[in-house]
Amino acid sequence: MKLEEEELFLNPFELIIFDHSYNSVVITTPFLDGEHPKIIYVNEAFTKMTGYTKEEIIGKTPRILQGEKTDREVLRRLKECLKKEEYFEGKAINYTKDGKEYWVEWNISPVYDKDKKLIAFLSLQKDISVAQELLKQIKLFEKAVDQNHDSIALFNASGEYVYINKSYAKRTGYDISQLMGKTPRVLKSGYHDEFFYKNIWKSLSYKIPIETVFCNKNAYGILYYEKQTITPIVEDENLIGFVVIGKNYDSDEKSKRKLQQDVLYDSLTKLLNRRAFDANISLAVEKYQEYGEIFCMMFMDLDNFKSVNDVLGHDKGDDVLKECAEFLQHNIRNSDDIFRYGGDEFIVLLYRTEESNAIELAKKLQNLFEQTDIAKMYKVGISIGVMQYNAKSIEEFFKDVDEKMYNNKKSKKQQI
């Protein structure tokens, strides 16, 4: 049999322990009077949180704290728990005496006497308005990130995906479940070499933000260009992750490629030009110094080319240069670079190649060129100097290779 309300007794001495509690404490009767129990005790923290004095709140029901935005579903669950004498945990909007909204988190437990009869409900309450406002701002930020037009991704310190927004998913063709535990290597297109990626990782490991253009391959095998800013995330001086923000660079990359075509390629032969050679040999030397990656340079000069221009004219001379360029493209590996250095001079950078192999290739090229129609028709040949990079300055290295080429040309003239 339930206690009658007037028989309810709580020892005042026992309630002293709640008076100065940091959290708000409310004790109500176990009786649902009009679907609500009555408040029989509140502590000082509760009066500060709600603005009500103890005299104003004692004897009232918790409905006095509710209002328009109080979640009715939470109240329904609360009542069900009270009826079943079960523990309840929840949060909702309440209202202070002057009508100000605040978020409250409840933990309500049934209280029994020594005979295990229900005598009250004990509610521990906490104002979580600041936390809820912060959560609201976080959710707003999450929406802003997810709906951002730019591609955004988060990575852990190992470079593995932990989050991508909708734009990133659309660009790559992957969703987060497919990328979790993986690195951006799944997007590699083969356009960039390992040195490109090593340089990026080196900068990031030193907590240095970088900005660069990637040529990636999406889940459908389609190439796309993206200009990305990669920023290290640092906590207590420790690297804990990275954030990537990417902008669609497809149209810009097309313009850039056109510009490169104009700036870095020879208009006549369509080979890389002298400007491109300066950039590529500097990069090759950097790889040698950083990783010990060897390379050779092959310097070529056409024999008897001046007489072609003088006797047959510059148009025929241009034809010879174009034919020579095509000859080299057909007989040099795709992984190596061919340059028209100027006039009738050509250079080939042979990567990851030892000098002995480069010399054999030079001999082979000279023999093959002698059998071409262009050589037979215009009586031209090629002289080649070859040398493996030896840690000298680029200027000294170039001079040494150039000297070898002229020695080759000189020996051929002596033989004739």
pLDDT in tens, 348-401: 999 999 999 999 999 999 999 999 888 888 889 999 999 999 988 999 999 999
The whole-angstrom separation of Cα 349 and Cα 346 is 10
Q: What is the mean pLDDT of residues 114-119?
A: 88
Q: Which of 253, 277, 304 marks a domain boundary?
A: 253
pLDDT single digits (tens) 179-230: 998 999 999 988 888 888 888 888 898 899 999 889 899 999 888 889 999 9
Residues 6+ apart with CB under 8 A from 324: 269, 302, 344, 346, 369, 374, 382
Q: What is the mean pLDDT of residues 288-306?
A: 92
The whole-angstrom separation of Cα 310 and Cα 315 is 11
Residues 162 and 105 in one domain: no
Q: Which of 129, 160, 182 marks a domain boundary?
A: 129
What is the three-class DSSP state of 231? Answer: strand
**Is residue 18 situated within a structural domain?**
yes
Return the bridge partners of 14, or none. Answer: none
**Is residue 108 situated within a structural domain?**
yes
What pLDDT does 317 receive?
86
The whole-angstrom separation of Cα 403 and Cα 416 is 20
Residues 68 and 166 in one domain: no
The domain that contains 272 carries what CATH number? 3.30.70.270
What pLDDT does 4 receive?
43
What pLDDT does 315 receive?
86
Residues 342 and 321 in one domain: yes
Q: How many domains would you assign to the chain?
A: 3
**Is residue 402 situated within a structural domain?**
yes
The domain that contains 247 carries what CATH number? 3.30.450.20
Would you say 153 and 164 are in contact if contact means Cβ atoms under 8 Å apart?
Answer: yes
State the residue for tokens 């990851």: 352
12: pLDDT confidence band, cut at 50, 70 and 90?
A: low
What pLDDT does 141 receive?
85
Q: Is the pLDDT of residue 254 over 90?
A: no
Residues 405 and 270 in one domain: yes
Tell me the C-alpha to C-alpha distance, in Å, between residue 99 and each of 1, 130, 196. 40, 18, 62
State the residue for tokens 């004790």: 27
Residues 269 and 409 in one domain: yes
Residue 209's CB is within 10 A of a number of other CB atoms, namely: 12
Q: Is the pLDDT of residue 305 over 60?
A: yes
C-alpha R_g of the chain: 40
402: pLDDT confidence band, cut at 50, 70 and 90?
A: very high
Residues 180 and 228 in one domain: yes
Domain that holds residue 391: 265-415
Return the bridge partners of 349, or none. Answer: 297, 337
The whole-angstrom separation of Cα 332 and Cα 349 is 10
55: pLDDT confidence band, cut at 50, 70 and 90?
A: very high
Would you say 340 and 266 are in contact if contact means Cβ atoms under 8 Å apart?
Answer: yes
3: pLDDT confidence band, cut at 50, 70 and 90?
A: very low
409: pLDDT confidence band, cut at 50, 70 and 90?
A: confident
Q: Which of 203, 224, 253 marks a domain boundary?
A: 253
**Is residue 327 situated within a structural domain?**
yes
Residue 168: half-sphere exposure toward Cβ, Cα within 13 Å: 22
